[in-house]
Chains A and B, each alone.
Chain A
Amino acid sequence: MIKNKKGALEFSFAWIFAIIAGMFILFSAIYGVSKFINIEKSSQDAQTAMDIGILTNPLESSFETAKRTMISAPVETRIYTSCNNNGFFGKQTIRTSQKTYDKWSNEGVNVSFSNKYIFSGNPAEGKKFYLFSKSLELPFKIADLIYLTSAEDKYCFKDAPKNIEEEIEDLIGENPSANENFFTEDCPSESINVCFNSRGNECNIKVFTGNSKYVEKDGEEMHYEGDALMYAAIFSNKKDYECQLERLMKRTAQLTDIYADKSKFILEKTGCNSGLDVDLILLKNTAENLGGSGNLNTISDFSEQLSRENKYGECRLW
């Protein structure tokens, strides 16, 4: 009896040792695999974000007007865009999160670009996304603004001015696809209504194109000048819009410096005088001290004057 008990004790000790060591191996394996899956998901998200950034390269236009491309993700994807104003140009960051087994992955790593200005809902969610761009000129070309919308977010443009309506119809094309998300007529019931110069209750986004140009969205006003910034305000939110505007002003200031130096360089080399030196310095100061979209009209007036002077001057700078 005693001998049997001792045997049982020795047997169980061996098993306990095996179980503990086995559990250790098993848990290490599970931990390793879960870490590996997380790394894999992060790399997938980073790759998608980088892809989106890279795919916006062809949208850098020269003189063509707005054009639209579609990007598709293999699974439901959320695209988060944000911006920061550090350094000479600030940065556009893109993060993505993908849906696997009905669960959204954590927002992936930030992929940053200094030369991109993306305006989108935050996040834009879906499998298919439309991208189009428009050039911002104040008065010379500052950048191409990129607008990203999910095919699931239907935008209904109501009472748009003629030029905007025509531009949207151009973007839609002659044969609208099944995933079309821009409408000027026969809008789907779940559309986001973008109303021009109207304060109707059915309007989700109100665009005012009079003397005071602004977009009202979620109870907040975003002032704009030119169609490029109008679209930016429509598809973006107040925080991102103001941040991107500040980045654009930083680039305006740097470009103004280049044009001012170019003016002197050409004058020395050829004797050709642009006559814009003083105005360029003023434009740079205005851009650097804009202080939000509310003061955009000052830079707009100034840019119109500069544009005229450049056009009819002795030596064109842009």
Chain B
Amino acid sequence: MVNKINKKAQGMKSKISPASPFRKKAQMKNKNIFQLLHKKSGQMKIQQMSFMLLGVFLFFALVGMIILTVKFSDLKQSATDLKEQNALLLVTKLANSPEFSCGEVFGTQKTDCIDWDKVMILKENINKYSGFWGVSNIEIRRVYPENKEIECRTNADCASDICVRGECTVECTQLNYPKCNLITLIDKPSLGYSKSNFVALCRKEKYNEEIVNKCEMAKLIVRYEEVQ
């Protein structure tokens, strides 16, 4: 039966001549299928390649970004270190700058001596000096001798609500001077670290109708901003 069918088919095939339109149509159909398959595989290759290239590009971009982040955080650290170094060197010499120094007002020349009278005037004119020393905070805190008039045990005992080592923190103004212990010259609200140095804080005072020089011990504190 099968042989019979095959023979019939062969007979039909042999009946179609090579130049017949049926044969051409079949050939064309085969060719289109072949081209389509080939085209699809080419597109696949391009897609694969483009995904691969995109992956490579993104990988290098990511690596680059990580390197940049690490490098810039290093840079921020270097900038903070430089500020720290500046504050450290500045605090040791700031007392000798003309706006602070005692000069020969209290006898002979003195190092690390701050003229309190002059600093009180500087405080009034400090807006002109903003950014002059390149630090975010400069303050002078008198540490010795203790002022009995502003003694305290807890923060509640002080009008300023700040009790430091048994003494209320009292900001100096021209009205309460010299019955105060803190002179804030520059105070930029910012995060940072401080460096300090001990200095002599001298002033002219009237004592028994005589003008005398009075020197006390103070701490000069310089604060620098941390680079964010």
The interface of chain A, by Cβ under 8 A from chain B, is 6, 10, 13-14, 17-18, 21-22, 25, 28-29, 32, 36, 40, 43, 47, 50-51, 53-55, 57-58, 60-63, 88-89, 113-115, 140-143, 251, 254-255, 257-259, 261-262, 265-266, 269-272, 315-318
Q: Are B99 and A258 in contact (CB under 8 A)?
A: yes
Q: Are B96 and A113 in contact (CB under 8 A)?
A: no
Task: Give CA–CA (A50, B131) in the complex, Å.
Answer: 15
Interface size class of B (residues with CB under 8 A): 35 or more
Q: Are A255 and B99 in contact (CB under 8 A)?
A: yes
Q: Report B-chain residues with C-beta under 8 Å of the C-beta of A261.
A: 121, 124-125
Stretch in B56-64, B143-151, B155-163, B183-191 with 4+ CB within 8 Å of A: B56-64
Question: Counting CB contacts under 8 A, is B154 at the interface?
Answer: no
Q: Are B204 and A318 in contact (CB under 8 A)?
A: no
Chain B residue with the shortest CB-CB distance to A51: B82
Question: Counting CB contacts under 8 A, is B118 at the interface?
Answer: yes
Stretch in B3-11, B15-23, B83-91 with 4+ CB within 8 Å of A: B83-91
How would you classify the secondary structure of chain B's contact residues: helix, strand, loop or mixed? helix
Q: Report A-chain residues with C-beta under 8 Å of the C-beta of B78.
A: 43, 47
Q: Report B-chain residues with C-beta under 8 Å of the C-beta of A115.
A: 97, 132-134
17 extra interface residue pairs, beta carbon distance < 8 Å, beyond A14-B49, A62-B101, A62-B110 = A17-B49, A22-B53, A25-B56, A32-B64, A60-B96, A62-B111, A63-B111, A114-B131, A115-B133, A141-B101, A255-B98, A262-B117, A269-B117, A269-B204, A270-B206, A315-B204, A318-B105
Question: Counting CB contacts under 8 A, is B227 at the interface?
Answer: no
Q: Are A17 and B46 in contact (CB under 8 A)?
A: yes
Q: Report A-chain residues with C-beta under 8 Å of the C-beta of B109.
A: 62-63
Sample of 9 A–B contacts (CB below 8 Å):
A14-B45, A29-B60, A36-B67, A50-B82, A54-B89, A114-B133, A142-B98, A316-B103, A318-B105
How would you classify the secondary structure of chain A's contact residues: helix, strand, loop or mixed? helix
Q: Are A61 and B96 in contact (CB under 8 A)?
A: yes
Task: Give CA–CA (A257, B127) in the complex, Å.
Answer: 14
Question: Counting CB contacts under 8 A, is B69 at the interface?
Answer: no
Contact of A21 with B50 at beta-carbon distance under 8 Å, contacts A57-B89, A57-B93 already known:
yes
Contact of A17 with B99 at beta-carbon distance under 8 Å, contacts A43-B75, A115-B133 already known:
no
Number of A-B contacts (CB under 8 A): 129
Query: A265 touches which one: B46, B56, B174 (CB < 8 A)?
Result: B174
Q: Mark B19-56, 1 if CB is under 8 A from A, else 0.
A: 00000000000000000001000100110011001001
Contact of A25 with B60 at beta-carbon distance under 8 Å, contacts A17-B49, A47-B78, A51-B82 already known:
yes
Q: How far is the CB of B138 from chain A (nearest CB, A)?
A: 12
Contact of A258 with B105 at beta-carbon distance under 8 Å, contacts A54-B85, A57-B93, A60-B93 already known:
no
Q: Are A262 and B118 in contact (CB under 8 A)?
A: yes
Task: Give CA–CA (A50, B177) in the complex, Å.
Answer: 38
Q: Report B-chain residues with C-beta under 8 Å of the C-beta of A43.
A: 75, 78
Q: Report A-chain residues with C-beta under 8 Å of the C-beta of B122.
A: 258
Task: Give CA–CA (A254, B99) in the complex, Å.
Answer: 10
